[in-house]
Structure 1
Amino acid sequence: MGGRGRLVTILLLAALGVSLFASLGVWQVERRAWKLDLIAQVDARLGAEPVAAPGPDAWAAINRADDQYRRVTVTGNFRPEDVLVQAVTEEGPGFWVLSPLVSEAGDTLLVNRGFVPQGMRDAAARRAPEGAVTVTGLLRMSEPKGGFLRANDPAAGRFYSRDVPVIAETLGLGPVAPYFVDAESGAAIGAYPVPGLTVVNFRNSHLIYALTWFGLALMVVGGAVIAVRHERRRDDPAAAAVPRAPVRGIPHPG
């Protein structure tokens, strides 16, 4: 390949690298804007007054983007059964207690009543309040198994995610809301379960990633400039003819 061919190859590879890294940087900038908007929306929901938990007429329209972490309230009666879902919180390892609640309107939804430590698997220690109770909390979308989570094993009574359809089927609830409520209050009669332990934290490292990609694009530009200069020197007869300075030997003594 001649000198011109090498130059063309260098420039094409550099253009491809710069285009790729710059595109990734722009994508991260766009992701950062989306994440900041999401955080602002969630913060607004967390600071808002609670609204009535959506009933069956609204279930089909509920979605993660518009409804996750919305503060809701519902009045009804807890059913006696519940499910324990493994959890690790600031209180240590243990379980979320998910109990079905039948609202005043007659529809059923799952309520995460809070956290109990591992030593409280006894149902009597975590029994739900009797009679009508008003629960206030955060609307959360169902958590199907995914990522590193282990599969729920309803037959063995082992649950690792708050998968609403699976839990509803296990308890024989029939139609239920497609979400559950993380209780802030109104779901315990004693020290346990401990409500209000929901952690709302969105990782936002997009700016660092964007700067990294843009930095790599600049490095490609710098590398291409050096390579082009090298090729031009190699193909320049005048530069190649420049004599080298003689290397002086070290004289031997006397």
Structure 2
Amino acid sequence: MSPVSGVGRANFEAKDMIGRADIGSHAAPSKGSTSRLLLALLGLLGVLVFLGLGVWQLERRVWKLDLIARVDQRIHAPVVDAPGSQSWSGFSVPDYEYRHVRLAGRFQGGANTLVQAVTELGGGYWVLTPMLSDRGFTVLVNRGFVPQERKAEFERENGGFTAPSTVDGLLRISEPGGGFLRSNDPAANRWYSRDVDAIARARGLTDVAPYFVDAEASGADSWPRGGLTVVNFRNSHLVYALTWFALAVMLAIALGGPIVAGRRQQGAAR
């Protein structure tokens, strides 16, 4: 076999390099295609997630509208007796909250609890006073609001308030723990929420109902001022749903745009 000449060897090596470059040029698009496929799959997953969140918000909207209708019906329904101890074992928030109830008994003013609050009248306190009902159990009654500047006056005049009374109002559910970023401090007598269990323990109360009652409106010149309960359920679920659906559409367009452009280029090349 004759030895390969220098020129022949050079041609062979050049062809070999061209072949490797050609292989590399085919391999690179393969990696790029894989990346594009992964991105497309992630984008499709995002579209499905956005659609799912939109549907969930629509379901929440149906639930919220039903809640608003039920609460409105209860608020304007005829007054009924506050639930007694025989009902407490099966006490359920959806079944009882915002019922229009009546409670008769005697206030125990020596165990008042002032809970910090902000109302349409400014900053001050809710006045929660235990009432020993004529039926033998105790209920915390939110008698109303006292402004900050009237706190000392109220405490002087109402410290021994034990008048027999009949209270009509809305049944409310306990607010455990405290307010936003502020925890109740029973030892220091600082309260930021109407936590029935904690207040009952701090005041040494027994046989206490697992709810409190927001008293109805009192006289315009009397303190505490009742009837300031705000019944307002935020219902922005339709806006949220439309937002999620819009994001799904925008993401779908972003995914489909390059595909459509690519097919147009292929059609033009033909």
Distance 2:216 2:267 in 1: 80
The alpha-carbon deviation at position 231 of structure 1 amounts to 3.8
The alpha-carbon deviation at position 14 of structure 1 amounts to 3.3
- Aligned match of 1:98 in 112, 117, 128? 128
| Residue type at the aligned position of 2:173 | M
Q: Which residue of 2 aligns with 1:80?
A: 109
Larger radius of gyration between Structure 1 and Structure 2 = 2
Distance 1:147 1:226 in 2: 49
Distance 2:243 2:160 in 1: 51
Mean CA deviation greater in 21-30 or 128-137: 128-137
Q: Which residue of 2 aligns with 1:215?
A: 246
The change in CA–CA distance for 1:146 and 1:219 in structure 2 (over 3 A counts) is: farther
When the two structures are aligned, how many residues end up with a matched partner? 238
SS of residue in 2 equivalent to 1:99: strand
* Contact 1:126–1:193 (CA under 8 A) maintained in structure 2: no
Q: TM-score, normalised by structure 2?
A: 0.81
| Residue type at the aligned position of 1:168 | A
Q: TM-score, normalised by structure 1?
A: 0.86
The alpha-carbon deviation at position 125 of structure 1 amounts to 3.3
Higher helix proportion: 2
Q: Mark the runs of 5 or more structure 2 residues left unpaired by the alignment.
A: 1-28
Q: Which residue of 2 aligns with 1:56?
A: 85
| Residue type at the aligned position of 1:177 | A
Distance 1:10 1:149 in 2: 41
Give CA deviations for 1:110-168 in whole Å, capped at 9, x if unaligned.
00000001122232334576442100001001001256241111121111110001111
Q: Mark the runs of 5 or more structure 1 residues left unpaired by the alignment.
A: 242-254
Is 1:23 the counterpart of 2:55? The answer is no
* Contact 1:183–1:195 (CA under 8 A) maintained in structure 2: yes
* Contact 1:142–1:162 (CA under 8 A) maintained in structure 2: yes
* Higher-RCO chain (CA-CA 8 Å, sequence separation at least 6): 1
- Sequence identity of aligned pairs in percent? 53
Q: How does 1:95-244 map to 2 (within 5 A)?
A: 95-122=125-152, 123-126=155-158, 130-145=162-177, 148-184=180-216, 191-232=222-263, 236=266, 239=269
Mean CA deviation greater in 81-90 or 217-226: 217-226
Distance 2:99 2:121 in 1: 24
